[in-house]
Amino acid sequence: MTVAAETKVRQSERISLRGGLKDFAFALLVLVLLGCAIFITAWRRVAFIDVGYEIRRLEKSESEFLYLQHEMEIERAMLNSPERIEKVARARFGLREPEPGQIRVVP
């Protein structure tokens, strides 16, 4: 073979290798993009599930707070009852009903 013929063969081999590298790079790019899409989809699904768990936890916490609020309202009503206040005033502070001369009306 002549030198010119060998040079043409080498050039054609380089051209065919370049085409193969372009195909490989394109296939690699497609695979990377596909992998990214799968990763993002999976990540979004996990985030969605986490939000669901957070909502469930907050709903449970809300129901506990509503129960405590109800209990405190009952306790407040009990503590504000006139009968209880009178009982505590008599027992703890020794208060009693006023005598008729002890009441003064302020104009």
Please check whether residue 100 lies inside any domain of the structure.
Answer: no
Residue 12, amino acid: S
Q: Count how many domains the chain has.
A: 1
Q: Do the domain assignments include residue 49?
A: yes
Quick: pLDDT tens for 53-107. 999 999 999 999 999 999 999 999 999 999 999 999 999 989 888 888 888 888 8
Looking at residue 36, its pLDDT comes to: 97
Domain presence at residue 39: yes
The answer to whether 90 and 96 have CB atoms below 8 angstroms apart is yes
Would 47 be classed as within a structural domain? yes
CA distances to 10, 24, 98 from 81, rounded to whole Å, are 105, 85, 21
How do residues 30-44 score in pLDDT, each as one tens digit?
999 999 999 999 999
**H or E segment to which residue 43 belongs:** helix 3-79
Question: How large is the average pLDDT for residues 19-29?
Answer: 84
